[in-house]
């Protein structure tokens, strides 16, 4: 179906968000075309982006910081895409490029779609290996195991993978992507459908977490890492900016305690950058917030209140 563009994301004629497929889907494996090799690859992220956030968390929890380097783009995305203006000389210090789009064009000179994060770039060639964000974290678990830190958690245990995917798929469809479906809807019907899907799923997840500490039970897994980036942005961005306003996260006792539990776990809260998150959404999405004014609240200190879930 033909569509129009809004905020760099495809919107269908029916008013509903349609995401473009990931263009680069190669994988880094011990015996593949792109071999596992410490120091060879660079993970490019935005601290504002929930899809990139999950890769930051996994990289840290598994202790891969010295194995896969990381570059951070400016939270404000302009017409040329993600920029490296946070670094000296306005260029990434390793890749020596000013825009992530340069790596995309080095890989495919005809590329004319949206440039996305996270992306993993091969440093020697400057080419993008993958921007397939779901597979990136799976492969950090499975393909880089030889370089995990001692005592690293098994976030994607083989015996639980089918269950993790079964739980995480509706979370992605209705919550992770659901907030965007609400925010970028251009018809009332599309918004209403997305809103209903979002809150039905949040209620289901809340009910699941009433009887278990984490989504899979008593251990943190990939499923929790996929949900957390949306929850941590909920009151600051999605509740108002994306019209996901039945309740605030702080008004949902189970989910709020669960989110604080994760936030206070090393490797989660210390990866949250409130300034990047709020400036990206409220300044970049001028069609939703024409003034570009960034709200002062909410108070982030509440995230450190006791969660009582241990």
Residue 139, token pair as written in the block: 């492969």
Q: Which CATH class is domain 16-147?
A: alpha beta
Position with higher pLDDT, 250 vs 113? 250
Cα end-to-end distance, the chain, whole Å: 48
Q: What is the mean pLDDT of residues 92-106?
A: 98
Instruction: Say what the pLDDT of residue 8 is.
Output: 42
Burial zone of 81 (CB within 10 Å; 0-12 exposed, 13-18 middle, 19+ buried):
middle
Pairing mode of beta strands 34-35, 28-29:
parallel
With H, G, I as helix, E, B as strand and everything else as coil, classify residue 172. helix
- CATH 3.40.30.10, the chain: domain bounds: 16-147
Among 180, 195, 238, 282, the active-site one is: 180
Q: Which of 49, 195, 258, 282 is catalytic?
A: 49
Residue 209 has pLDDT above 70, yes or no: yes
List the binding residues for glutathione.
Answer: 82, 114-117
- Residue 279 has a CB neighbour count (10 Å cut-off) of 17
Determine what percent of the chain falls in helix, strand and coil, rounding each to the nearest 5. 45, 10, 45
* Residue 80 confidence (pLDDT): 83
In sequence order, the β-bridge partners of residue 214 are: 217
* pLDDT in the model for residue 12: 58
Confidence band, pLDDT 50/70/90 cuts, at residue 241 = very high
Q: Cα 267 vs. chain centroid, distance in angstroms? A: 15
- 126/91 Cα distance (integer angstroms): 13
111 catalytic residue (yes or no): no
Query: From the annotation, which residues make up the binding site?
Result: 82, 114-117
pLDDT digits (tens, 9 = 90+) for 143-195: 999 999 999 999 999 999 999 999 999 999 999 999 999 999 999 999 999 99
- In percent, the amount of the chain with pLDDT more than 70 equals 96
3-class state of residue 209 by DSSP:
helix
CATH number of this structure's domain 158-304: 1.20.1050.10
Spatial neighbors of 40 by CB under 8 A, at least 6 apart, are 122, 123, 124
Residue 49 falls in the annotated catalytic set: yes
Average pLDDT over residues 223-248: 98
pLDDT at 11: 55
The pLDDT score that the predictor gives to residue 23 is 87
Instruction: Note the pLDDT tens digit of each residue in 118-144.
Output: 999 999 999 999 999 999 999 999 999
DSSP, res 39: T
Q: How far apart are CA 41 and CA 5, in angstroms?
A: 32
What rounded mean pLDDT belongs to the chain?
95
Taking the mean position of all CA atoms in its chain, how far away is CA 239?
Answer: 17
pLDDT computed for residue 78 by the predictor? 81
**Where in the sequence of the chain do the CATH 1.20.1050.10 domains occur?**
158-304
β 34-35/69-72 pair status: unpaired
DSSP-based three-state secondary structure for 95: coil
More confident residue, 5 or 58: 58
Q: What percentage of the chain reaches a pLDDT higher than 90? A: 91
**Beta bridge partner(s), residue 217:** 214
Residue range 16-39, pLDDT digits in tens:
888 888 889 999 999 999 999 999
Q: CA nearest 34: which of 112, 149, 136?
A: 136
Q: Is 116 a residue whose pLDDT tops 90?
A: yes
pLDDT at 13 over 60: no
- pTM, 2 dp: 0.95
The pLDDT tens digits for 43-66 are 999 999 999 999 999 999 999 999
In Å, how far from its chain's centre is CA 310? 26
**Cα separation of 102 and 126, whole Å?**
9
Residue 21 is predicted with a pLDDT of: 85
């Amino acid at each position: 179906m033909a569509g129009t563009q809004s905020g760099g994301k495809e919107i269908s004629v029916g008013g509903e968000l349609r995401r473009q497929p990931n263009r680069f889907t190669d994988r880094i494996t011990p015996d593949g075309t792109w071999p596992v090799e410490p120091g060879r690859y660079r993970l490019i992220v935005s601290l504002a982006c929930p899809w990139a956030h999950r890769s930051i968390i996994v990289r840290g929890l598994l202790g891969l910081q010295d194995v896969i380097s990381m570059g951070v783009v400016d939270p404000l995305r302009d017409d040329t895409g993600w920029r490296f203006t946070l670094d000296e000389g306005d260029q990434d210090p390793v890749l020596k490029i000013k825009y992530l789009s340069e790596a995309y064009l080095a890989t495919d000179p005809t590329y004319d779609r949206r440039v996305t994060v996270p992306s993993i770039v091969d440093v020697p060639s400057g080419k993008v290996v993958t921007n397939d964000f779901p597979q990136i974290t799976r492969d950090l678990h499975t393909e880089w195991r030889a370089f995990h830190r001692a005592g690293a958690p098994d976030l994607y245990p083989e015996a639980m993978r089918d269950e993790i995917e079964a739980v995480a798929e509706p979370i992605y469809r209705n919550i992770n992507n659901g907030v965007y479906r609400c925010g970028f809807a251009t018809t009332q019907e599309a918004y209403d459908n997305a809103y209903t899907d979002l809150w039905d799923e949040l209620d289901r997840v809340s009910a699941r977490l009433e009887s278990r500490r984490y989504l899979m039970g008593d251990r943190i897994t990939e499923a929790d890492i996929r949900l957390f980036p949306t929850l941590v942005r909920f009151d600051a961005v999605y509740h108002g900016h994306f019209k996901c306003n039945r309740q605030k996260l702080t008004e949902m006792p189970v989910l709020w305690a669960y989110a604080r539990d994760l936030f206070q776990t090393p490797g989660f809260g210390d990866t949250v950058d409130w300034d990047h998150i709020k400036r990206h959404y409220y300044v970049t999405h001028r069609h939703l917030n024409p003034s570009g004014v960034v709200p002062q609240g909410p108070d982030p200190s509440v995230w450190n209140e006791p969660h009582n879930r241990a």
